[in-house]
Structure 1
């Protein structure tokens, strides 16, 4: 095939340039006035929705912490009405369904129900976040029979109050001087009076409760009861104990026999009496007084013997 020279190539006409296809312009989507308005509203709502979501997280997160049992160091609150506000986060939470629907009380056996409800101060239907757990606990612990309490809020609407009551240790008789009627109150192991309790009802529940008399009897009762428990044969027969001049005890047995304990060596005297019961059943005999006030000496006074039938005394009576 013959080659074409450079001159011939130069003489050949150049091919015409290809025409570029023009792109068809897409028809413009012109938004209506209504669509533009709603788009602007949607954009303006986004920051508010983020803020509302953050607030909701803070509410739920903070409440999970506060719903744990209240700590002992919670400050003493103001009156009940000050903690039931209907504004702020509590009102917002109530609007979304966080309201008290049930109040559960655990461990309250002897507390007056009406007084307990008044101390809790929370009613079904109130905002679940509208009160302080520490405030409820402090009010409940002010009730006489309550030793301690814990308060727990379980979302969305349950309040749980756990109560530990003070154990009744003995019954203390006060008053009775100058014609005034005696008063019977319950005391705990520390000697403190348990207010708001019926001593007679407690005695029916626990017949073993000891009856005490004497101004300082409550403060010294725990030591006496501990010493008596070491000698069960005697402890089971004691119904009352009288504190004499703030120095010593008289024991009144169930058969009305009187046991006089010494000022010093109280435990030794109790042990001695227990040994006499084991060896000779002294407490089963008709004795009126057993005097142990002098160390190493025992004085027993029996009941007076009944006069023989037909005697002058018997015929006179």
Structure 2
């Protein structure tokens, strides 16, 4: 093949009108492919992101539509596996519960959530521990699984500090004033507080009264009045009315009167200490009748 130099090419060149040149007709498929390739080169990243979003939406839609069959299948599978574990000797057989006094055993069993065919492998001890710990009287609880078939529950309960009687029912309350059970007669040594709101402030009053043993010996109840102040109720029926503020000063004054005059042993029904620096007394009814005679 003979190589033509530039000068030779220019010597043979002649002017041509471009409009006289023929137009090449590309097939529609080729034109579409060229257009797609041009779009792909310019916008490939955007196209890939849009495709990934569409694919994710389709997957989520499919999962949403199949949620019930999937859930049913998983539940069925779990049930079958649990049944197989139970049949293999891992069914919970013995549940040992210790430490409970205020909490009924039936309440703990219900919180454990152990069904007849629950296996120790499937039993969620931590979730059960959380449920048992929510029972009113429970302070702490530990739950251990002892394979193949035992569950051991050890409960530590809150300490009752007082009895609270309201609407004819006597509850046990802890140091925070929370109800932790009912008193069925086994906690008679605890101080008794009565009235609406008495449980909330019981510990403050109990600790104040503990500083005066000569005054607290025969007290049978602390009565909350209008959720503002306290009355001391003695076994003789005597009621000592304390002020809303300055309770310690009033008790100290009462202690002085008891030491000097045995005031609590006198035949009176009310000792009123609500006014600072003043002691008002109400004699027993029979003394009033004798004076009238």
TM superposition score normalised by structure 2? 0.63
Is contact 2:137–2:158 with CA below 8 Å preserved after alignment? yes
Between the aligned partners of 1:312 and 1:230, the Cα distance in structure 2 is 41
Which secondary structure does the structure 2 equivalent of 1:219 belong to? coil
Is contact 1:107–1:163 with CA below 8 Å preserved after alignment? yes
Which of 170, 175, 181 lines up with 1:189 in the alignment?
A: 175
Which of 101, 111, 122 lines up with 1:119 in the alignment?
A: 111
Please tell me whether residue 212 in structure 1 is matched to residue 198 in structure 2.
no
CA change 1:307–1:158 in 2 (3 A) is same
Unaligned runs of 5+ in 2: 1-74
Tell me the alpha carbon deviations over residues 161-199 of structure 1, each in whole angstroms, 9 at most, x when there is no partner. Answer: 111223333333334xxxxxx4443322212223xx433
Is contact 1:86–1:130 with CA below 8 Å preserved after alignment? no
User: In structure 2, what is the equivalent of residue 30 of structure 1?
Assistant: none
From the two aligned structures, give the one with the greater helix fraction.
Answer: 2
Which of 249, 254, 257 lines up with 1:268 in the alignment?
A: 249
Is contact 1:239–1:252 with CA below 8 Å preserved after alignment? yes
| CA drift at 1:264 | 1.6
Number of equivalenced pairs: 217
Q: Within 5 A, what are the aligned runs for 1:267-286?
A: 267-286=248-267
Is contact 2:160–2:175 with CA below 8 Å preserved after alignment? yes
Unaligned runs of 5+ in 1: 1-81, 176-181
Which of 141, 148, 157 lines up with 1:156 in the alignment?
A: 148
Between the aligned partners of 1:234 and 1:155, the Cα distance in structure 2 is 57
Cα RMSD (Å) of the superposition?
3.0
Worse-superposed segment, 206-215 or 154-163: 206-215
Tell me the alpha carbon deviations over residues 42-98 of structure 1, each in whole angstroms, 9 at most, x when there is no partner. Answer: xxxxxxxxxxxxxxxxxxxxxxxxxxxxxxxxxxxxxxxx8x94455x677656644
| CA drift at 1:257 | 0.4
Is contact 1:98–1:129 with CA below 8 Å preserved after alignment? yes
TM superposition score normalised by structure 1? 0.59
Please tell me whether residue 129 in structure 1 is matched to residue 113 in structure 2.
no
Between the aligned partners of 1:224 and 1:312, the Cα distance in structure 2 is 39
Is contact 1:101–1:125 with CA below 8 Å preserved after alignment? no
User: In structure 1, what is the equivalent of residue 63 of structure 2?
Assistant: none
Please tell me whether residue 169 in structure 1 is matched to residue 161 in structure 2.
yes
Which secondary structure does the structure 2 equivalent of 1:138 belong to? helix
Tell me the alpha carbon deviations over residues 222-245 of structure 1, each in whole angstroms, 9 at most, x when there is no partner. Answer: 100110111122222222222223
Between the aligned partners of 2:187 and 2:227, the Cα distance in structure 1 is 27
